[in-house]
């Protein structure tokens, strides 16, 4: 896909409307994780260096088209200013007189945050008139919110058709990384898909077996595959009604020459609690009161060998209940092995999804992967092969 970047833009004196992701976790009015704030820095710095006036558009939470004071972006101003090391002005609306007055007061290099775009029903409706109102305050549009690119909203899609549109630095990083992982990867390509439910990742699994050379399935969803193959899973979480679907995925993998890696041994316990007595079992040898909570050592060793024989890794979802030791061991070992291969220059590793990022952080390797996306739903839809409206709108 060909899209314009800020390298192509004349920025001097221009009003740059920048769609960013400031939907950060908050507790008692304070930001508890500033990852998404820090992700805005490269684009804002580039715009300021070019002499642009930086006008930030963002959403927070789900006010559903109404003004909800507790969902205002105002509390983001101070932490964003701290991350940037620069003052950030704030306007109490994203359109109309208040926004226009604040934009008109800006000097080149200054930064303004407009109020929550979702306070207007026109945002989620992708309304043309609302997009026109947003566009009135800009000379160019920069989309730097890949995490919102799967939503056809006014500030992600319609606005890109009203002003010269560019991908921001974070958006460019995301798109380049995903192209390296799935678009034009170095082969062989290995995918790891984990998590609890196969039902939430059906489209993903069906698509990946047509794209990858190898696919490893872990987490709770692996239990459904084991059950579909006739193995006893005891008291484990298992979507037994999706056994036919699991068999369909296995069949599709065979038809597309995608080697499927399912657990060959597992870690079980009677309780999912920190420090609970855990035992390694061969698949199928699970007592009726035992639950499968992690991949076994042989399964992890086999997965690590598959990584070593691959050039590209794309990862979404943990291998077990990584939040509760000792059921974090499989995910931690696999993550650290992948990181060591990346550092040795032997593997391109791209990962994404909330649980995946949390697991890589817990393993202490999030900075060692080639790229880790914080985009969640957009990352998943991209992996499913779906067109993302906010990305398609940037296509030249």
Name the residue among 314, 297, 304, 296 with its Cα closest to residue 352: 314
Q: Is 136 helix (H, G, I), strand (E, B) or coil?
A: coil
Instruction: Please tell me which residue in 74, 197, 206, 311 is annotated as part of the active site.
Output: 197
Distance CA 268, CA 277 (A): 9
Instruction: Please tell me which residue in 50, 51, 109, 377 is annotated as part of the active site.
Output: 377
Task: Judge whether 218 counts as a catalytic residue.
Answer: no
Name the residue among 71, 58, 55 with its Cα closest to residue 148: 58
Is the bond into 209 cis (omega within 30 degrees of 0)?
no
Contact between residue 150 and residue 381 where contact means Cβ atoms under 8 Å apart: yes
Task: Judge whether 195 counts as a catalytic residue.
Answer: no
DSSP annotation string for 242-267: GHHHHHHHHHHHHHTTPEEE--SEEE
Task: Judge whether 51 counts as a catalytic residue.
Answer: no
Task: Judge whether 36 counts as a catalytic residue.
Answer: yes
Name the residue among 270, 147, 258 with its Cα closest to residue 212: 258
Q: Residue 202: exposed, middle, or buried by beta-carbon count in 10 A (0-12, 13-18, 19+)? A: middle
Instruction: Please tell me which residue in 14, 15, 19, 36 is annotated as part of the active site.
Output: 36
- Annotated catalytic residues are 36, 197, 354, 377
């Amino acid at each position: 896909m060909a899209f314009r970047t800020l390298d192509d833009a004349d920025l001097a004196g221009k009003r740059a409307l920048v769609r960013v992701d400031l939907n950060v976790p908050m507790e008692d009015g304070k930001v508890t994780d500033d990852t998404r704030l820090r992700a805005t820095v490269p684009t804002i710095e580039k715009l300021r260096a070019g002499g642009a006036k930086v006008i930030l558009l963002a959403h927070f939470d789900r006010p559903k088209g109404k003004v909800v004071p507790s969902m205002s972006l105002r509390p983001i101003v101070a932490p964003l200013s701290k991350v940037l090391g620069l003052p950030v002005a704030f306007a109490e609306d994203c359109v109309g007189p208040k926004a226009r007055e604040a934009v008109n007061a800006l000097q080149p290099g200054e930064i303004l945050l407009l109020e929550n775009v979702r306070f207007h029903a026109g945002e989620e409706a992708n309304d043309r008139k609302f997009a026109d109102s947003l566009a009135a305050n800009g000379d160019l549009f920069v989309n730097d919110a890949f995490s919102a690119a799967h939503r056809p909203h006014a500030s992600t899609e319609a606005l890109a058709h009203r002003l010269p549109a560019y991908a921001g630095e974070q958006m460019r990083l995301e798109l380049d990384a995903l192209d390296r992982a799935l678009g034009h990867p170095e082969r062989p390509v290995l995918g790891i898909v984990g998590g609890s439910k196969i039902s939430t990742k059906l489209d993903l699994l069906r698509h990946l077996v047509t794209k990858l050379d190898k696919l490893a399935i872990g987490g709770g969803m692996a239990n459904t595959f084991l059950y579909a193959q006739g193995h006893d899973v005891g008291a484990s979480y298992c979507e037994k009604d999706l056994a036919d679907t699991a068999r369909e995925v296995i069949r599709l993998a065979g038809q597309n020459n995608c080697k499927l890696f399912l657990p060959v041994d597992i870690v079980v316990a009677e309780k999912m609690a920190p420090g609970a007595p855990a035992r390694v079992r061969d698949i199928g040898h699970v007592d009726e009161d035992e639950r499968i909570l992690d991949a076994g050592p042989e399964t992890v060793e086999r997965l690590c060998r598959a990584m070593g024989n691959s050039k590209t890794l794309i990862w979404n979802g943990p291998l077990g209940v990584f939040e509760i030791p000792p059921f974090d061991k499989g995910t931690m070992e696999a993550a650290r092995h992948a990181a060591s291969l990346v550092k040795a220059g032997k593997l391109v590793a791209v990962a994404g999804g909330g649980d995946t990022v949390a697991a890589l952080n817990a393993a202490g390797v999030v900075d060692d992967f080639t790229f880790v996306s914080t985009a969640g739903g957009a990352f998943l839809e991209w992996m499913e092969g779906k067109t993302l409206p906010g990305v398609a709108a940037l296509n030249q």
